[in-house]
Each structure stands twice: as C-alpha cells, then as structure tokens.
C-alpha cells in the first residue's frame, strides 16, 4: 500500500463576507482548511491586505513611514486615492484617530464628514476603525453606518459594551460589523453570539481578536487565532466561523524597534528596512495564524506580504 499523508478532517467552514459594493467589492473568508493548507482543502478567497489611512495628519509617525505619503498626508481623501492608484490597495481602512477622547477628541460630525468624503472618492471597500473608546464609538460608528448607506462598509471595533447601539444601526443600514474582543477565544465567541442574537446577519460579521506587534505579544494573539480556527474548522463551532481582521499596522509602528534610528543604536541596522521587515513579519505571522485581512502601513512591507500570499496560494 502506498504511503498516504495523514490529513486533518475538517467539519466546518469559514463564512464568506462581502465588503464594499460595485465591481471592486471584496469577498473574504470561505476557507475550508487551516490557513494555506491547500493540500487539505480550499481557500476560495485569498487573504487581503488593507492599507491604513488616518483621518488627520499623524503627528508621531517616523520619517520613513511618512515618506511614501508625504504629499498626501494632510488629506485623507488624496491619501486613500494614492494608496489605491500608486500602491494598488484593494481596501482602505480609515483610522479615526482624531476622534479619540484621549487625543484630539474631534467632534463626531467633523469626523463623519471626513468619512463621507473618503467614501465618495474611492471605489474599493472601505473599513472604518473607530477610537476603541466604547462610548465615543457608539456615537461615532452609529453615524457612520448611517451616512455610508449603500456602501456595505465595515465598522469597528464593536465591543460587548456598545454592540447593541452599533449592531442595531448596522442591521438597519446593511453594513458589516467588526466584532472586537481582547485576545480570548471565549470572549470572541460570546460577542459573536450577542451580535447574532441581536439580529446581525451571519455574513455581516468580521472578528478582530486584538493583536500585538512582533515582540509585543504577537505570540499570544497567534495562539488565540489558532484556537479560533481549530474550533471553527474542526469542532463545528458555528459562532467562531467568521473571517478575521487584524489591525496590526498601528501596533507594529508604535514599537520601540520601529522608532530607533541606526544612530540611536547601530546594532539594530537600517531603520527603514528594519521597520518594513517588522511590519511584514507581523502580517505574515497573522496570516499564517488565520487572518483574512491584515491592516498595513508601508507599501514596501505590503508588497512583501502580497508576494508571500501569492506564493502560498499558487
């Protein structure tokens, strides 16, 4: 008898979720096997990279992170367009940093205006990432689901504290919600149950397991995502069969290792190359753990990651 490689028996499948509308809408999820285990099953929709755009000029970005966007960094609309036109972005994550009550605390309507303008200017799917402040987001993201009616945008992070307010509006305006939980399988599952009980359609949910950057708790996220996927694919846990999104860019780029220059510490080598690799390795790791969307910043790291996805899916 010929030798046969043992295979994992899958009993579940990740749901497919469509984000955006029109010809550039993107479908994610659908996998019937562990990430890139194409010898055991299928991944009908390859994982995607989303470019991040901030809603106002970032103040603390490294020189080498600003460089690719220097001409557009003061204008979120132009910034988003440049990502699409120059760097081939397939989705845009608009990070509503300026609304953060611990920062500029910009009023809701001002921020909503920015979202409206960006949404109108781009044709790729838009994902809107709030402040992670439960109260502010409840107000802000509700308004955003409203003004982007018909766009099928994804809004998040939605927590167990504000899922009712945001979830109800997302149902009404047919948007996708990003269910965010603090690195725990059970908490992720609980939030998904709460959202579906509220009436959110099962093809309108993305999961955000909360991520840390490389060297800053990434391994913790990794094992939780791994367990999410094991439960979803091999233990028929229907409440975990949702695509995963990782908002990794802000985590990577705030680490000390992406901030120190070669002059600060010659042992660490060239800062740009180092930062790009830090971001690429973080994203690749998350993809191997089961991410369907990774949020990234630098075009060079995006290109490395896209190469990897292409090769692993070939």
Q: Return the number of the residue (15 or 189) whose C-beta is nearest another protein.
A: 189
Our finding on whether 141 is near another protein (CB under 8 A) is no
Our finding on whether 194 is near another protein (CB under 8 A) is yes
Report the nearest approach of another protein to the CB of residue 138 (Å).
Answer: 11
Q: Return the number of the residue (105 or 197) whose C-beta is nearest another protein.
A: 197
Our finding on whether 117 is near another protein (CB under 8 A) is no
Our finding on whether 193 is near another protein (CB under 8 A) is yes
For residue 276, which of 293, 252, 260, 294 has the smallest C-alpha distance?
252
Identified binder of another protein from the candidate list 239, 272, 298, 306, rule CB under 8 A:
239
Report the nearest approach of another protein to the CB of residue 197 (Å).
Answer: 7
Q: Return the number of the residue (40 or 134) whose C-beta is nearest another protein.
A: 134
Binding mask 196-215 for another protein (x = CB under 8 A): -x------------------
Bridge partners, residue 205, by sequence:
177
Our finding on whether 160 is near another protein (CB under 8 A) is yes
* Range in contact with another protein (rule: CB under 8 A) among 2-10, 184-192, 246-254, 267-275: 184-192
Q: For residue 272, give every residue at least 6 positions away whose Cβ sits within 8 Å of its Cβ, in sequence order, or none.
A: 64, 67
Identified binder of another protein from the candidate list 100, 184, 203, 226, rule CB under 8 A:
184
Report the nearest approach of another protein to the CB of residue 232 (Å).
Answer: 14
Q: Which residues bind another protein (CB under 8 A)?
A: 160, 164, 184-187, 189-190, 193-194, 197, 239
């Amino acid at each position: 008898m010929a030798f046969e490689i043992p295979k994992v028996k899958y009993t579940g499948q990740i749901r497919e979720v469509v984000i955006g509308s029109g010809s550039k809408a993107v479908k994610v999820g659908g996998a019937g096997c562990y990430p890139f285990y194409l010898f055991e099953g299928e991944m009908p929709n390859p994982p995607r990279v989303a470019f991040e755009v901030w809603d106002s000029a970032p103040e603390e970005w490294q020189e080498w992170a600003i460089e690719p966007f220097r001409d557009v960094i003061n204008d979120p609309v132009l910034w988003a367009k440049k990502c699409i036109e120059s760097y081939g972005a397939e989705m845009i994550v608009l990070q509503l940093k300026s609304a953060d009550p611990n920062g500029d605390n910009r009023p809701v309507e001002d921020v909503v205006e920015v979202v409206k303008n960006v949404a109108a200017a781009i044709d790729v799917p838009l994902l809107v990432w709030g402040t992670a402040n439960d109260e502010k987001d409840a107000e802000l993201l509700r308004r955003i689901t409203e003004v982007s009616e018909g766009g099928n945008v994804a809004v998040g992070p939605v927590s167990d504290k504000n899922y009712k307010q945001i979830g109800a509006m997302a149902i009404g305006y047919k948007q996708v919600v990003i269910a965010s939980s603090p690195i725990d399988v059970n908490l992720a599952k609980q939030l998904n149950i709460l959202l579906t009980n509220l009436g959110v359609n099962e093809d309108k949910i993305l999961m955000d397991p909360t991520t840390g950057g490389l060297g800053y708790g990434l391994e913790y996220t990794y094992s939780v995502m791994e367990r999410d996927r094991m439960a979803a694919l091999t233990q028929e846990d229907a409440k975990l069969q949702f695509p995963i999104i990782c908002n990794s860019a802000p985590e990577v780029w705030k680490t000390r290792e992406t901030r120190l220059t070669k002059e600060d510490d010659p042992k660490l080598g060239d800062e740009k190359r180092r930062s790009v690799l830090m971001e690429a390795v973080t994203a690749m790791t998350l993809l191997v753990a089961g991410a369907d969307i990774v949020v990234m910043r630098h075009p060079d790291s995006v290109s490395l990651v896209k190469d990897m996805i292409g090769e692993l899916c070939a």
